[in-house]
Structure 1
Amino acid sequence: MGLLTFKIILVLALFILALTVAAYSTWAERKVAAIMQDRIGPNRSGPFGLLQPLADGGKFFFKEDFTPAAAEKFLFIVGPSLVMFISLITGAVIPWGKTLNIGGTSFDLQVANVDIGVLYLVGMVSIGVYGIMIGGWASNNKFSLIGAIRASSQMISYELAMGLSIIAIIMMAGSLDLKVIVEQQTHGKIWGFVPEISGMNWNIFYQPIAFIIFFVAALAETNRAPFDLPECENELVNGYHTEYSSMKLGLYMFGEYVNMFISNALIVVLFLGGYNYPGIDWVTNHWGENAAGILSVIVFLMKTFFGIFVFMWIRWTLPRFRYDQLMHLGWKKLIPIALFNLMATGAIILAYDHFMK
């Protein structure tokens, strides 16, 4: 199998995976909410309600596609399309697993192994806000516009804290390459004295503050509760997508769930060791490269799905912030803490290089 053929298969597999995860995240969220509220949740469409996402998707496709007469029709379509497009292409630089050996050739389970993978992801996330802003403005609805402005100011604010937390990881890794960041979490003694276990040298042990900042910022970036002010129904009817119906609304909803999936995948890459797991070297040496590669993909997805569950857990546990509280948290709390963590990281790295090497 050639490299191009493998990459095409990998792109299709990731596309199907992202859409499947987005669809069944809606089912999972309703089940999680039902458990926390002591009720059943979806249970009519198929066993355990597993066909509910298919029913919801069919509903979106067959509902009336309404466009307001005063809307900017071209931009009205571009908004949700851009959100979905950006959500899907961000997964291209994420290393989803170790390697697979096919016909004697090892292939990385990563669509595009670029040297500036972190910058690519940050840039794509920054562009994603345009889809929401364009959609809210093009609707020619004041509630939609307010929701879009809320979303843009919120996402820009929390991107700063998110970026500062990522810089701390970059300083430790010395690279913007996500593959390098993952590989550096394979070997090493935690804090220099904990006995080494291959695949367990995760960045969360060195950067717990950066992890908390990034996690909170990821909640805000994906407009998840308690940061769902852009679409709070008690104030803005439905927020930036008030005027949307049919599959245009479906694209916004799917985009949110794909964003949640990619955000948690990025958290796994930066802080939770990526595809690494305890004993990965032993599995590679005794069971072979393919067994280790397949297991690495399973472990990566398990970590990601656990992160998605925590996102859902938080949504159905914490109340929504007031908007002034949301902005104060971002500008007065997270950004100063992230700056302090960045300076502390730099000081520790310089001290280590000076005294230990």
Structure 2
Amino acid sequence: MQAGHILAGLAPMSDMAFAVSSIIKVLLVFVVVLVTVAMLTLMERKVSAWMQDRLGPNRVGPGGLGQPVADGLKNILKEETNPAEANGVFFTLAPMLSIIPAMITFAVIPFAAPLPIFGTVVPMVIADLPVGVLFLMAFSSLGVYGIVMAGWASSNKYALLGGLRAGAQMISYEIALGLSLMSVFFLVGNVTLTEVIYTQQRMNMWFALPLSVSFFFFWISSFAETNRLPFDLPEAESELVTGYHTEYSAMKFSMFFISEYSHVLTVSALMATLFLGGWDVPGSFDDMLGYNAAGQWVGATPHWSITLLTFGAFALKTFLFILIFMLVRWTVPRFRYDQVMDLGWKIMLPAALVAVVITAATVLGLDSYGVRFEDKFLGIFPTYALVLTVVNGIMLAAVLWLMDRGHTLGGTGAMEDKRIHAREVARRRSEQMRVRLTTPRAGAR
């Protein structure tokens, strides 16, 4: 169900109008993304200051609003230094490989309802690709190449260790991230993000509740994919100086900084689209989107005010997730590396596989009984979403029990037990070896 099919009765866009609108959208979106990323640095510092009972930046501009501009000018005017033993080509290429995927991935995320203009309608997404989610997953995973390359090309042991950590961590959690999306595809039947929004409107409930397990796994994996606390092992200032970008300065360092916040922005926008309805405002725009309250197919009546309002809703949901990223950074301590790997491979991967199977069986059962998205339980609650909410709630409770440090993830006490056990095993082996060496063999004089 593409946007062009839903908005029936409106004139299709000409090739020239499509080209012009695409260029304008590209320029606007990337300018907005860059400005937003700059302001996120200020927001991060303000949030951290608030949580630590400080004032934060307040010297440049009113309330410190000019601080991102001052930081940008400072890094532009700084001298760039390259380590003597670094590989110059790859050392320069690494920041570019890190920032390009972070900027491109936002192109497939719809950020508002379609905009009617000049007798036609313009979808508020740069590229509404039929493989939108797959495109996003493919390009977002390319960011690890820049990080690993930066660690290797720096000729620094701390940077190399940070790059290797980033590669292992991102690969470990991309599997759970991909599996968490499969439940969404079961309900949508499509990998287009526009269709994901329309399906949530038809169900009369955002996917955050009916697919709470997938939402939880995606949310946890997003911390690991963006290398944010408590998964910031690749940087780990207390262990690796600053990790893979230890040797970088000036604008090269700024490119890694922009890349990190661009990933945070993109992941937050993606979570808002997949699990909070994207730009959807509940109960207000069913007629505009092709469905009335009874689930019947109707014509579309888009309006610029609706586009503006839905963009505001999308921005609000996105910044909600960004705020959670920042609050978690100053709330939760960093995991040990063995805990990060245990969580990814021993808990999230098998639990995500089980959740996919159970969700698929539930969807198959509901479809077999002829339950539709529009059906209401007791005339109030959407039946389809209610059943999935109960099933996923039970699974989520089981997952949270498994993630308790006392059950699966070992804390410092469990780590000490392992050390004691290892020392005891080594002592026994040493004792056995001593006995064998000192005991005379049979028949020996």
Q: TM-score, normalised by structure 1?
A: 0.94
**What residue in structure 2 maps to residue 105 of structure 1?**
120
**What residue in structure 2 maps to residue 333 of structure 1?**
347
**What residue in structure 2 maps to residue 322 of structure 1?**
336
CA distance, structure 2, for counterparts of residue 308 and residue 289 of structure 1: 29
**Aligned counterpart in structure 2 of residue 42 of structure 1, from 49, 57, 66:** 57
Note the C-alpha offset of 1:283.
9.0
Amino acid at match of 1:12: L
Amino acid at match of 1:21: T
**What residue in structure 2 maps to residue 260 of structure 1?**
264
Amino acid at match of 1:274: G
Q: Percent identity?
A: 44
CA distance, structure 1, for counterparts of residue 41 and residue 339 of structure 2: 28
Using CA pairs under 8 Å that are at least 6 residues apart, name the structure with larger relative contact order, 1 or 2.
1
**What residue in structure 1 maps to residue 307 of structure 2?**
293
Cα pair 1:181 1:270 within 8 Å, conserved: yes
**What residue in structure 2 maps to residue 26 of structure 1?**
41
Cα pair 1:280 1:292 within 8 Å, conserved: no
User: Which stretch has the larger CA shift, 278-287 or 130-139?
Assistant: 278-287
Structure 2 residue 360 is the aligned partner of structure 1 residue 356: no
Q: How does 1:70-219 map to 2 (within 5 A)?
A: 70-189=85-204, 201-219=205-223
CA distance, structure 2, for counterparts of residue 150 and residue 45 of structure 1: 37
Q: How does 1:211-250 map to 2 (within 5 A)?
A: 211-250=215-254
CA-to-partner distance for each residue in 1:15-59, whole Å, 9 max, x for gaps? 111111111111001110111111100111111100000011111
CA distance, structure 1, for counterparts of residue 301 and residue 22 of structure 2: 25
CA distance, structure 2, for counterparts of residue 308 and residue 283 of structure 1: 31
Structure 2 residue 316 is the aligned partner of structure 1 residue 312: no
CA distance, structure 2, for counterparts of residue 328 and residue 152 of structure 1: 16
**What residue in structure 2 maps to residue 302 of structure 1?**
316
CA distance, structure 2, for counterparts of residue 277 and residue 183 of structure 1: 11
**What residue in structure 2 maps to residue 344 of structure 1?**
358
**What residue in structure 2 maps to residue 194 of structure 1?**
none
Note the C-alpha offset of 1:287.
9.2
CA distance, structure 2, for counterparts of residue 341 and residue 263 of structure 1: 22
Q: Structure 1 or 2: larger helix share?
A: 1
Aligned residues: 346
Note the C-alpha offset of 1:284.
5.0
Runs of 4+ in 1 over 2 A off after TM superposition: 282-288
Q: Which runs of 5+ in 1 are unaligned?
A: 190-200
* Secondary structure at 2:354 match in 1: helix
Cα pair 1:283 1:291 within 8 Å, conserved: no
**Aligned counterpart in structure 2 of residue 7 of structure 1, from 15, 18, 22:** 22
CA-to-partner distance for each residue in 1:118-153, whole Å, 9 max, x for gaps? 110110111111010111111111110000000010
* Secondary structure at 2:123 match in 1: strand
Note the C-alpha offset of 1:188.
2.7
Cα pair 1:284 1:292 within 8 Å, conserved: no
Cα pair 2:231 2:334 within 8 Å, conserved: yes
Amino acid at match of 1:317: T
Note the C-alpha offset of 1:282.
7.0
* Secondary structure at 2:320 match in 1: helix
Q: Which runs of 5+ in 2 are unaligned?
A: 1-15, 290-299, 372-445
| Structure with greater Cα Rg | 2
Cα pair 1:98 1:293 within 8 Å, conserved: yes
Cα pair 2:201 2:286 within 8 Å, conserved: no
Amino acid at match of 1:93: V
Cα pair 1:284 1:291 within 8 Å, conserved: no
